[in-house]
């Protein structure tokens, strides 16, 4: 049996479906991300013969724990492959390449990289196109928007994966769920935009600050802010983490900022953790909107002096 650990977004789900179809037989799947991959691996009990890690970048701060978990898993004779399209630094690449089979290179979506590595037919090609549309943040197709809405629910995300592995792109239940969820998201995007403010960097770039302390779909709000305010990029934050999303031009390397704060991702979409202690985090959650924690103010200062 194959064990798949993948990202919980559209690209991650589609990557897992293409891989499961290419490898055949049974599989089990856990969803994870760059911030939790060490924990996910530590909880993994090896019952399969093969482990696939998909669409999860390895940030510097996770290198040590992830390396030791992978050594533990590979010592049992498990074959481990890690396919990812995010940017990795040289040390991470060289330290892991002796333990796992690494395929790390830039690609519009990780699903496309998996397709190139493991192969597939017309169905997989269609899936890779959906993943490209979603992972670049374009969302030009309705199906990518539906998958994105579905991916936000843990149970439905699993159902979608099962559907895809069985060779069908959607069913009535998933479509109905996705459509209702899309309407909810639409409301949250409007509400999120009301909590957004536009600021200017040192060199005159306009960017949007989006407060997600009361929740909301950060990437969708950022996309709408880019369209409605014409900003170069957006920063979204809650009391645990932040993300940066490029606007229409995508010419700035936002990842530089994320990497300075031990995060990672793509030049046009990346994120990282905000290090608030427990007390500050509680205050952060209950504070009125104008009270922004100092960690966020520092992030904004870093952005404004870097761009």
Closest to 7 measured CA to CA, from 55, 77, 44, 53 = 55
Of residues 109 and 239, the one with the C-beta less far from Mn ion: 109
CB of 109 to Mn ion, least distance (A): 6
Q: Give the β-pairing of 206-211 and 241-246.
A: unpaired
Residues lying near Mn ion in the complex (CB under 5 A): 11, 55, 110, 135
Query: Angle between the 10-23 and 110-118 helix axes, to the nearest 10 degrees?
Result: 10
Of residues 98 and 106, the one with the C-beta less far from Mn ion: 106
Of residues 52 and 276, the one with the C-beta less far from Mn ion: 52
Supply the DSSP string of 124-144, one letter for each residue: HHHHHHHHHHHHTT---SHHH
CB of 62 to Mn ion, least distance (A): 17
Is residue 132 within 8 A of residue 112, CB to CB? The reply is yes
The backbone torsions φ and ψ at residue 265, rounded to the nearest 5 degrees and listed phi first, read: 140, -140
Q: 84 in the Ramachandran plot: left (φ > 0), alpha (ψ -120 to 50) or beta?
A: beta
Radius of gyration of the chain (CA): 19
Cβ-closest residue to Mn ion? 11
Residue burial 54-75, b: 16+ Cβ < 10 Å; e: rest: bbbbbbebbbeebbebbeebbe
CB of 237 to Mn ion, least distance (A): 21
CA neighbours within 13 Å on the CB side: how many for 187? Answer: 5
CB of 223 to Mn ion, least distance (A): 16
Is residue 212 within 8 A of residue 238, CB to CB? The reply is yes
Of residues 11 and 38, the one with the C-beta less far from Mn ion: 11
CB of 79 to Mn ion, least distance (A): 23
Of residues 11 and 259, the one with the C-beta less far from Mn ion: 11
Is residue 264 within 8 A of residue 258, CB to CB? The reply is yes
Of residues 110 and 148, the one with the C-beta less far from Mn ion: 110
CB of 276 to Mn ion, least distance (A): 27
Of residues 113 and 276, the one with the C-beta less far from Mn ion: 113
CB of 108 to Mn ion, least distance (A): 9
């Amino acid at each position: 049996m194959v064990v798949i650990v993948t990202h919980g977004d559209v690209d991650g789900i589609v990557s897992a479906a293409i891989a499961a179809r290419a490898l055949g037989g049974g599989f089990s799947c856990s969803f994870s991300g760059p911030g939790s991959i060490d924990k996910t691996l530590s909880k993994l009990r090896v019952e399969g013969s093969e482990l696939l890690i998909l669409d999860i970048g390895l940030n510097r701060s996770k290198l040590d724990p992830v390396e030791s978990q992978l050594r533990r898993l590979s010592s049992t004779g498990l074959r481990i492959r890690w396919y990812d399209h995010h940017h990795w630094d040289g040390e991470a690449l060289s330290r892991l390449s002796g333990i796992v089979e690494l395929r790390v290179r830039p690609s519009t979506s990780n699903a496309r990289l998996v397709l190139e590595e493991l192969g597939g037919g017309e169905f997989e090609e269609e899936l890779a196109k959906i993943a490209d549309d979603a992972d670049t943040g374009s969302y030009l197709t309705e199906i990518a928007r539906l998958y994105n809405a579905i991916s936000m629910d843990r149970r439905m995300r699993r159902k979608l994966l099962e559907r895809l592995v069985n060779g069908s792109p959607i069913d009535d239940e998933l479509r109905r769920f996705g459509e209702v969820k899309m309407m909810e998201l639409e409301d949250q995007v409007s509400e999120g935009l009301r909590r957004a403010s536009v600021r200017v960097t040192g060199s005159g770039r306009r960017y949007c600050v989006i407060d997600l302390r009361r929740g909301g779909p950060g990437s969708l709000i950022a996309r709408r802010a880019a369209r409605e305010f014409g900003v170069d990029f957006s920063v979204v934050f809650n009391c645990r983490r932040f993300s940066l999303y490029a606007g229409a031009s995508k010419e700035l390397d936002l990842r530089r900022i994320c990497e300075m704060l031990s995060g990672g991702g793509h030049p046009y979409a990346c994120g990282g953790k905000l290090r608030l202690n427990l007390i500050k985090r509680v205050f952060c959650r209950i504070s009125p909107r104008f009270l922004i924690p100092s960690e966020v103010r520092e992030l904004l200062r870093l952005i404004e002096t870097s761009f």
